[in-house]
Amino acid sequence: MPRHGRHGVRIGRVATHGLEPPGIHMRQTLGRYEIRTRRYISLKSLFTPSPPNKPTSDAERSKKRSLLKPGDLFHPLSKSPIKEMREKGRLIQAHGCCPTCVEETSAKGRAATREPMFECPECGYPTHCSEEHWQADREQHAQLCTHLREANEDEHDLRSGRTLREFEFPSAQLPEVVVNLSNWDTFMYTRSFTNLNSDRSIRHVSKVLTYPITIGAALHQYSPFILGKGLTPEGLKSMTALRATIKEHDLARSDKELVMQQMPLRIFILGARAEAMLPPHLYLQLAYLLPNSPIHIYFVGPECIPASEETRSTIIVSSRLALKYHKGYFHDAIWNFAPFDPFTDVFFLFSPGMSHPRSHDGWHPTVEKLLETKCAVFGTGFHERDMNADVEGLVKDFGDKMDWLLLPQKNPFASLKRDFGIRNLREWAIANWGIYAFRGKRYEVQSK
């Protein structure tokens, strides 16, 4: 039976938690917030080359459009020189709640809570309804205040107008240079990210590269996920199958006839949202980790939204990398992609929220189909509680039908940025904080 859908495209993600991290839509070097339930970050314009016939130097252009100096990044949201930051403050005031009021409501049965109109002078966010309630909550608020201030300065920095050199990424790796995938520091050092001169720059980059590098770290021969440190014997079998295909691609690189016969590595990102909106060439960083493998990435889900102004359903990024987008549920469109092969196909579910009541019914038939493929399925979570909830849901619904490949653990390539909810600043999320993997159970045949 021939494969179908190898040249079609997909993106999207089924509904997940109400705990969706806020994002930032970027336009040129400034940000622009859109009022919507889910908010993503798009850094497409940061990678757009400068227009031709502009003889001015980079320093002159940066100085001309600079709004904030490096030492002047902290501003209370209501007094920010950046319009979009002031709008964000108003959104929090309009849709947020005072945590002290919430606690009093729970303790005393009062139904009324007030909007957070008072801005914390230390983090600049509107956190409480009044200075009195802020003072009463100082001890609790102190646990997040440093992170909120960091987020305040990071977002002002992205909109400061400076030239964002950290987004000038390295190209292909030299064959003799080995990439170290232990963590962000070793990866960026061995991949020659030379423009990362501060922790803030590293946070900016990790926010957009967490998706392609998490995939690459799982598939690479020098993966940080090894036997005895979370990878199970069944996981070793599944990863060996995928790496055998990658090795075949490496061996065939000098034989044009064999190259033409190669089956591409198919990576399915189900329930894709923010991952699908990233500038396509960001996924070249994944391709550089697997330089000889043809890679087709399928973004599949009902919230399929590619990068802004992108209308194509298939994007050929390079001779070895294609992105394909499909709007719809995987379990409804499965025959567009079947048959599946554990040696060439792998699935990723980035923070799916499978156990959340609003998304459970949408994910259940998809997971059933995933288990039937016998292919490796990787999942991530926003934080430990989010990841554990999905893992417990999987065990409850499919425990006797699945094998664990990678036990739940912290992801070394999680985003280094902490995102905060508009409605409740105490709710935070870190993209791909944790990671785990499973597949449909394989039954051994025993002779009597």
Say how far apart CA 146 and CA 125 lie, in whole Å: 11
Fill in the amino acid letter for 255. D
Per-residue pLDDT of 319-364, as tens digits, reads 899 999 998 899 998 988 989 999 999 999 999 999 888 888 889 9
- Coil, helix or strand for 127? strand
- Model pLDDT, residue 35: 34
Please say if the pLDDT value at position 442 is more than 90. no
- Report the alpha-carbon distance of residue 42 to residue 323 in Å, rounded: 17
Residue 229 has pLDDT above 60, yes or no: yes
Q: How confident is the model at residue 251, as a pLDDT? A: 85
DSSP 401-439: GEEEEEEEEE-TT--S--EE-SS-TT-EE-TT-EEEEEE
Check residue 287 and give left, alpha or beta (phi > 0: left; psi -120 to 50: alpha): alpha
Average pLDDT over residues 263-270: 95
Token digits for 337? 């992609």
Compute the distance between CA of residue 266 and CA of residue 289 in angstroms, rounded to an integer: 15
| Residues in CB range of 59: below 8 A, 6 or more apart | none
Nearest-angstrom CA–CA distance, 342 and 239: 9
pLDDT of residue 370 exceeding 60, the answer is yes
Model pLDDT, residue 174? 85
Cis peptide leading into 291, omega within 30 of 0? no
pLDDT at position 312 = 67
Residues 9-28: tens digit of each pLDDT: 333 333 333 333 333 333 33
Tell me the C-alpha distance between 272 and 298, whole Å: 9
pTM of the model: 0.82
Residue 447 clears pLDDT 90, i.e. is over it: no
Instruction: Decide: helix, strand or coil at residue 245.
Output: helix
The most distant pair of C-alpha atoms in the chain lies apart, rounded to whole Å, by 81
Side-chain-facing half-sphere of 378: CA atoms under 13 Å: 27
